[in-house]
C-alpha cells in the first residue's frame, strides 16, 4: 500500500504530517487503526518492546543475529545412513528430539533419537549445515530428499 501521509516543516521550525493529495481522512484513519491494532500496548509490536526490536535490528546489522532452523524440544528426522551402523529396523529416517544447540567454531545441533535400536542416552551431534541434507524438519522433507551416499557420523 502506498503512503497516505507526508512530513512537512516550515522556516519557523514547525513540522507535522499531512495527507497526500487525493487521500481522504477516512482512508487514513482506517490505515492508522490497522497499525494501532498491531501495537496492543504503547511501544510494543506483537508483544515485543521497541527497545528489543532495536536491539535485534542492531545485532542483525552487525552479524550477531542467528536464526535457528528449529527450537529445543522440536522433533527432527535424521537420515539413518549417517549412523555408524545404520538403523537395524531398516528405516531410512529416525525421529530425533532436539535437546540443545552448540555455537562455536562449527555450529551444532544436539538431539536424541527415538529408536529401539539406538541407546536413548546417546546424544547425537550434527552440524547445522546438515539441515536439508541429512537432517530434516518434517518426515515429508526427509522422504523427498534425494537418495545419495552420505558420510557416517
Confidence of residue 4 (pLDDT cuts 50, 70, 90): confident
CB atoms under 10 Å from CB of 114, counted, come to: 12
Which has the minimum average pLDDT: 84-93, 96-105, 107-116, 131-140?
A: 84-93
If pLDDT is split at 50, 70 and 90, which confidence band does 144 have? confident
Going by C-alpha positions, the residue among 38, 112, 120, 111 that lies closest to residue 68 is 111
Residue 117, pLDDT > 60, answer: no
Residue 56: what pLDDT?
92
Q: Above 80 in pLDDT, residue 62?
A: yes
User: What is the pLDDT at residue 137?
Assistant: 93
pTM for the structure as a whole: 0.58
Q: Which three cell numbers stand for residue 11?
A: 522556516
Q: Is the pLDDT of residue 138 over 80?
A: yes
Residue range 7-51, pLDDT digits in tens: 777 777 666 777 778 878 888 888 878 877 766 666 677 778 888
Q: Does position 120 have pLDDT exceeding 80, yes or no?
A: no
Q: What is the signed CA dihedral for 33, 37, 42, 46, rounded to 10 degrees? A: -150
Domain ranges of the chain: 5-61, 75-144
Average pLDDT over the chain, rounded to an integer: 77
Backbone angles phi, psi at 122, to 5 degrees: -80, 135
Highest mean pLDDT among 40-44, 79-83, 137-141: 137-141
Average pLDDT of the residues in 128-143: 89
Report pLDDT for 58: 94
Nearest C-alpha neighbor of 110 from the set 123, 129, 122: 123
Largest CA distance in the chain: 82
Beta-strand relationship, 44-45 and 124-127:
unpaired
Amino acid at each position: 500500500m502506498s503512503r497516505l501521509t507526508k512530513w512537512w516543516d516550515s522556516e519557523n521550525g514547525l513540522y507535522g504530517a499531512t495527507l497526500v493529495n487525493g487521500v481522504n481522512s477516512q482512508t487514513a484513519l482506517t490505515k492508522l487503526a490497522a497499525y494501532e491494532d498491531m501495537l496492543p500496548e504503547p511501544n510494543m509490536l506483537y508483544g515485543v518492546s521497541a527497545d528489543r526490536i532495536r536491539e535485534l535490528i542492531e545485532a542483525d546489522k552487525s552479524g550477531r543475529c542467528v536464526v535457528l532452523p528449529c527450537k529445543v524440544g522440536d522433533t527432527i528426522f535424521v537420515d539413518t545412513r549417517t549412523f555408524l551402523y545404520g538403523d537395524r529396523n531398516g528405516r531410512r529416517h529416525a525421529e530425533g528430539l532436539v535437546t540443545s544447540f552448540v555455537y562455536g567454531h562449527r555450529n551444532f545441533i544436539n538431539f536424541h533419537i527415538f529408536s529401539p535400536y539406538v541407546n536413548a542416552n546417546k546424544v547425537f551431534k550434527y552440524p547445522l549445515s546438515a539441515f536439508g541434507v541429512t537432517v530434516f524438519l518434517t518426515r515429508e522433507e526427509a522422504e523427498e530428499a534425494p537418495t545419495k551416499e552420505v558420510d557416517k557420523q
